[in-house]
Chains A and B, each alone.
Chain A
Amino acid sequence: MKLLLAGVVSLIATATCAAEITPEARRSGYDFAAAATRAMQDDDTANPGMLWVLQGETLWGTKAGAAEQSCADCHGDARSSMKGVAARYPAFDLALARPLDLEQRINQCRTAHQRAEALVWESADLSALTAFVAHQSRGLPIAARSDPELGPAIDLGRSLFQRREGQLNLSCSQCHDDNWGKRLAGNVIPQGHPTGFPLYRLEWQSLGSLQRRLRNCMNGVRAEPFEYGAPKAVALELFLMERARGMPIETPAVRP
């Protein structure tokens, strides 16, 4: 009887383990990184992501496109005008009737207002501008809007997060909800909170977006990755931001 009871208790324990991470138990990828990596992120003169932030600051004041306008001509000083903006993205765009992430919003602004060509995903310029804008929110809590329009996209993101896929038949949730803190090969599995994007990944030797990171993970489970900017990718980003609500932005973070 005792044995049976123990079995039931362990079964319940497994079942609870598979649930979503409670707000108190949430931890940024920073906490799982090695001390040397954390030190790199903490020191702005050792954090290579700051090179992109610097470049982004230059681009912010550079005129572009047929409208001969720079970001600063409309938005002024990013330190005040962009403060907290990244913490609210992806956000719903009424004209396009779908959520846009920060990279898409920058490109939207470029094509619609600057009448310039959209920047290519993962290009140095787009990464730099995104990093510069997101850097203005460093330390602020993630506060994705609670617009009712975002509901369906968050639900889609949640279902994508929980759905098994790829040849390895794994869902995001199986690693990042159920097995965080354990090791996958030599690496600690983090909880997968998008607190520091765009971030400098030592493996990439460059700055990269959340979408690039998601594509990495999808390749890892041998699934077909989303195209850059695909609505499903944005929905997943949105769900992850919702999941990390209240955690502070770290951009530009440094991760292994």
Chain B
Amino acid sequence: MARVLLNVPPRAKRGEIVEIKTLIAHPMETGYRLDNAGGSIPRDIISLFVCTYNGEEIFRAELFPAIAANPFLAFFTTATESGEIVFTWTNDHGQTQTETRPITVE
């Protein structure tokens, strides 16, 4: 499991616009680099990030080899009701990592 740093406000007022920040440890290896022996280092990137709020998709990003290691994504959403925000990162091999954070809307 890759290490992840997530910033989701635990509480928000109904209708408030909140910022969500995500950071995941990943080398984002482009596939264009060579190792010390001259062989190519195989491509290994996170190609898709999806965020859902109570099952509804609120943010989606496709990532490409030009994106730096440890991709940081920040975005905004409107706090509508209490529930769960689910983050899913998918790599080139179809492996996924999922993290969940609760949010309480008052």
Where the two chains meet, the residues of A that have a C-beta atom closer than 8 Å to any C-beta of B are: 43-46, 48, 50-51, 54-55, 202, 205-206
Q: Tell me how many residues of B have a C-beta within 8 Å of chain A.
A: 13
How distant is the Cα of A1 from the Cα of B74 in the complex, in angstroms? 64
Of the candidates A48, A55, A202, A206, the one whose C-beta lies within 8 Å of that of B23 is A48
20 sampled A-B residue pairs with Cβ under 8 A: A43-B7, A43-B21, A44-B5, A45-B5, A45-B6, A45-B21, A45-B23, A46-B5, A46-B7, A46-B74, A48-B70, A50-B23, A51-B5, A51-B23, A51-B25, A51-B70, A54-B5, A205-B28, A205-B68, A205-B70
- Cβ-based interface call for B72 (8 A): yes
B residues near A46, Cβ cutoff 8 Å: 5, 7, 21, 23, 72, 74
- Cβ-based interface call for B18 (8 A): no
Cβ of A6 to closest chain B Cβ, rounded Å: 50
Cβ of B104 to closest chain A Cβ, rounded Å: 19
Is the Cβ of A54 less than 8 Å from the Cβ of B3?
yes
Is the Cβ of B5 less than 8 Å from the Cβ of A50?
yes
- Cβ-based interface call for B105 (8 A): no
How distant is the Cα of A44 from the Cα of B28 in the complex, in angstroms? 21
Give me the 3 closest cross-chain CB pairs, A-B, nearest first: A45-B7, A205-B69, A51-B25
- 8 A Cβ contacts from B1-38 to A: 3, 5-7, 21, 23, 25, 28
Cβ of A132 to closest chain B Cβ, rounded Å: 12
